[in-house]
Amino acid sequence: MNTLLQGELVRLVAANAEKDAELLARWSRDSEYARQLDSDPARPQSVKHAKEDIQKWMENESPDNFGFMIRTLADDRLIGFIGLDGIRWTHGDTFVGIGIGDPEYRGNGYGTDAMRVILHFAFTELNLHRVSLDVFEYNPRAIRSYEKAGFVVEGRQRQALNRDGRRWDVIYMGILREDWERQQGR
């Protein structure tokens, strides 16, 4: 029971706006990271703004959002965030968002591990029916990570992004409870 929010490499913990904002603001200066996170224009975030964001999305008890910081098990280092956002309880559907802000921890399984933890949380604690995400065509590493965690591609919004002078698709992925259970051997 105590391992609900713990994986093999990371654990998910509550955000702490006072302590974490400075690091998040530093990550936001990495435009490659910012462009992978969302489709808004990349823009460095002030510490004050980062603090407000954490308070709004993570440091609250909204029943429709569950946001966590990702810390390594090995040395309790803050490396990113993950959260379920806009849960639609009547349909059992939610979107998930993840960012590994610390570049040294990208491509080493930390994000995939965090995703597995939050899927377990979504299906066994929140009892949701599906988890959804969207990801950008120019981020193949993230797509591979999501596939490893069990997501399948459900379609692509053509040319929905315009970056560096060309258009890219937004790829929609989803995992159903039954996909997840099969994968767990349940």
Partner 1 sequence: MNTQLFEGELIRLTQPDPDRDAEIESKWTHDVEYMRLLSADPVRPLSPTLIKKKHEEAEKEKAAHRYYFAIRTRADDRLVGFVRLDHIEWNNGASQVTLGIGDPNDRGHGYGAEALKLILHYAFAELNLHRVTADTPAYNERALRFLERAGFVVEVRRRQAVHRVGRRWDVIKLGLLREEYKP
Minimum Å gap between C-beta 9 and partner 1 is 29
Residues 6+ apart with CB under 8 A from 131: 84, 93, 94, 95, 96, 119, 122, 123, 151, 174, 175
**Among 88, 126, 139, 148, which residue interacts with partner 1 (rule: CB under 8 A)?**
88
**Among 2, 3, 41, 61, which residue interacts with partner 1 (rule: CB under 8 A)?**
41
Q: Please answer whether residues 3 and 11 qualify as being in contact, where contact means their C-beta atoms are separated by less than 8 angstroms.
A: no
Placement of tokens 């998910």 in the chain: 12
- Window 120-159: residues binding partner 1 (CB under 8 A): 129-130, 132, 154-159
CA distances to 67, 104, 115, 127 from 84, in Å: 6, 24, 11, 13
**Among 16, 31, 39, 184, which residue interacts with partner 1 (rule: CB under 8 A)?**
39
CA-closest candidate to residue 16, choices 54, 53, 48: 54
Q: 162: which 2 tokens? A: 């315009």
Minimum Å gap between C-beta 27 and partner 1 is 20
Nearer to partner 1, 106 or 130 (CB): 130
Q: What's at 176, amino acid-wise? A: L
Minimum Å gap between C-beta 135 and partner 1 is 12
Minimum Å gap between C-beta 29 and partner 1 is 19
- CA-based radius of gyration for the chain: 16
Nearer to partner 1, 3 or 90 (CB): 90
Q: Is 5 helix (H, G, I), strand (E, B) or coil?
A: coil
- Window 159-178: residues binding partner 1 (CB under 8 A): 159-162, 167, 172, 174, 176
Minimum Å gap between C-beta 179 and partner 1 is 9
Binding site for partner 1 (CB under 8 A): 39-41, 88, 90-93, 129-130, 132, 154-162, 167, 172, 174, 176
